Amino acid sequence: MESLVIWTIVLALVAGGVACYTRNFRRQRQHDRERLVQTRELGMDKASGQYPLVDAAACIGCATCVAACPEGDVLGIVSGKAVVINGARCIGHGKCAEACPVGALKVGLGDITKRDDIPLLDDYNQTNVPGVWIAGELSGFALINNAVDQGRLVMERIAATAGPRGDREDPELYDAVVVGAGPAGMSAGLVASEQGLKCVILDQQGAGGTILQYPRRKLVMVQPVEIPCLGRLPRLEYSKEELLEIWEKLYTDYELDIRNGVRVTGVSGRQGDLAVVTSDGVLRTRHVVLALGRRGTPRRLNVPGEDLAKVAYKLIDAEAYAGRRVLVVGGGDSAVEAAMGLAHQPGCRVTISYRKPSLLRIKQRNADRIAPLIADGTIDFRGGTTVGSIDGDRVVLDGESGSAIVPNDDVFILAGGIPPFGFLREIGVSFGGDQKAIATAGTRGAAG
């Protein structure tokens, strides 16, 4: 009798557990279906670089890949198969592919003939314009290790084809001008130094690239990578500051010629003697390495007062804004994350101005975190508004129901960036989507 009772309890617990699991599973699948519809409407299912390529025939729909993704909502399960729900969020960790028990998934660029944002490159990352090379995230592959590897690949190739030094005596002519001092540009510069090439690195902001823009003390995950002149980094996690210190020591020790605050606006000329047009004049070079990343130039609002010192396009140190009245402009993850970071500072009053009525283009975990802060008034969300003007102690927000004056000390415009693809096209660089046209015209330009 006693054992019957025990068995009944055990069976009831198991049945309860299964029911609970099934209910959660169904709820999650319903959520995935709804997110897919939503992201398709917003165009966010499309990747902005590499993304998970699912072999639907091999996928068993176990959702291991969904759980493995550090970004949270890139993948989901719809109709029993893994699908890309939020391709724009993939930054290429590759954890989904590692976790898939049946090898049904890899991370890549997919069919680039459909991509107008992936430059056509040969096996060494040279574009269809001879002497113009691409390294790092601009190629479509994110992450620091990929950027470092590509910077090295490109500069080693340039060194291998550079010819004897005696042939390169023109004092005005660089062997390579590297545009962008992020991990890709820095890696290329270090190889140039190792190989004795005459090289300069230009950056419109500062040495460090996107790492420089990370929030203070951000923990950076670095997949195994060999850094030129240094070797393999001993750890897989560094703070932003530690990583920047490593780069700084390298470029000081190896005397890299890095010029910060110099923006490159064009490349012209002929093979072997290219002209790099910069905000600081024109440089002549045999090769140009474009290591621009994909973040582009921060989008401006072009409103009166935008040039005031209180306006910034990135938030690095939220703690400095305790007790301030801050306006965050934008409705993407960067804007929302900045607003939440600021709202946690003592006495900081945060307003968000977003041109859309609600926050739809954000990660689910950000949506879940910001909703209560808006509901309880910690963050003053002004959907459906645009900034009319910015003044010393206030901003004007325009909306359908008129204009509102909001007292203000600081403004963060976090409305995305203008991608560098137009710039590349002006130089003559072809993209994946141009492949058919190139084939028809008989021009050279093979995908790597």
Ligand X SMILES: Cc1cc2nc3c(=O)[nH]c(=O)nc-3n(C[C@H](O)[C@H](O)[C@H](O)COP(=O)(O)OP(=O)(O)OC[C@H]3O[C@@H](n4cnc5c(N)ncnc54)[C@H](O)[C@@H]3O)c2cc1C
Q: Which residues bind ligand X (CB under 6 A)?
A: 91, 136-137, 142-144, 147, 179-185, 202-205, 209-211, 214, 220-222, 263-264, 291-293, 295, 420
Give whichever of 49 and 445 is closer to ligand X, judged by the CB atom: 49
Give whichever of 161 and 279 is closer to ligand X, judged by the CB atom: 279
DSSP state of 153: H
Give whichever of 89 and 310 is closer to ligand X, judged by the CB atom: 89
Give whichever of 399 and 416 is closer to ligand X, judged by the CB atom: 416
| Distance of closest approach, residue 150 Cβ to ligand X, in angstroms | 8
| Distance of closest approach, residue 420 Cβ to ligand X, in angstroms | 6
CA–CA separation, 200 and 206 (whole Å): 14
Token digits for 74? 């890139």
| Distance of closest approach, residue 289 Cβ to ligand X, in angstroms | 10
| Distance of closest approach, residue 261 Cβ to ligand X, in angstroms | 9
CA distances from 82 to 26, 78, 385 (A): 15, 6, 37
Q: Which of 132, 102, 105, 107 is nearest to 120 (CA)?
A: 132
DSSP per-residue codes, 319-353: GGGTT-EEEEE--SHHHHHHHHHHHTSTT-EEEEE
E-only strand ranges, 154-263: 173-179, 199-203, 219-221, 226-227, 231-232, 237-239, 258-260
Q: Which residues pair with 321 in a beta bridge?
A: none
Report the largest interatomic distance among the alpha carbons of the chain, rounded to a whole angstrom.
Answer: 99
Q: Which residues pair with 392 in a beta bridge?
A: none
DSSP state of 304: T
| Distance of closest approach, residue 244 Cβ to ligand X, in angstroms | 11
Could you give phi then psi for residue 411, rounded to 5 degrees? -130, 130
Strands 311-312 and 410-413, bridge-based pairing: parallel
| Distance of closest approach, residue 368 Cβ to ligand X, in angstroms | 19
Give whichever of 211 and 350 is closer to ligand X, judged by the CB atom: 211
| Distance of closest approach, residue 109 Cβ to ligand X, in angstroms | 15
Give whichever of 211 and 348 is closer to ligand X, judged by the CB atom: 211
Give whichever of 82 and 142 is closer to ligand X, judged by the CB atom: 142
Exposed, middle or buried: residue 437 (CB in 10 Å: 0-12, 13-18, 19+)? Answer: exposed
Contact call for residues 125 and 176 (beta carbons, < 8 A): no
Q: Is 221 left (phi over 0), alpha (psi -120 to 50) or beta?
A: beta
**Which amino acid is located at 48 in the chain?**
S
Give whichever of 291 and 350 is closer to ligand X, judged by the CB atom: 291
| Distance of closest approach, residue 248 Cβ to ligand X, in angstroms | 14
Q: Which of 331, 195, 340, 185 is nearest to 251 (CA)?
A: 185
| Distance of closest approach, residue 401 Cβ to ligand X, in angstroms | 35
Contact call for residues 44 and 86 (beta carbons, < 8 A): yes
| Distance of closest approach, residue 444 Cβ to ligand X, in angstroms | 25
- Locate all alpha helices (DSSP H) within 119-182, ordered by sequence: 144-160
Give whichever of 42 and 222 is closer to ligand X, judged by the CB atom: 222
SS3 121: coil
Q: Which of 414, 209, 228 is nearest to 294 (CA)?
A: 209
Give whichever of 144 and 336 is closer to ligand X, judged by the CB atom: 144
| Distance of closest approach, residue 202 Cβ to ligand X, in angstroms | 5
Contact call for residues 208 and 182 (beta carbons, < 8 A): yes
Tokens 């028990």 -> residue = 101
Give whichever of 120 and 144 is closer to ligand X, judged by the CB atom: 144
With vertex at residue 177, the alpha carbon angle to CA 176 and CA 181, rounded to the nearest 5 degrees, is 125
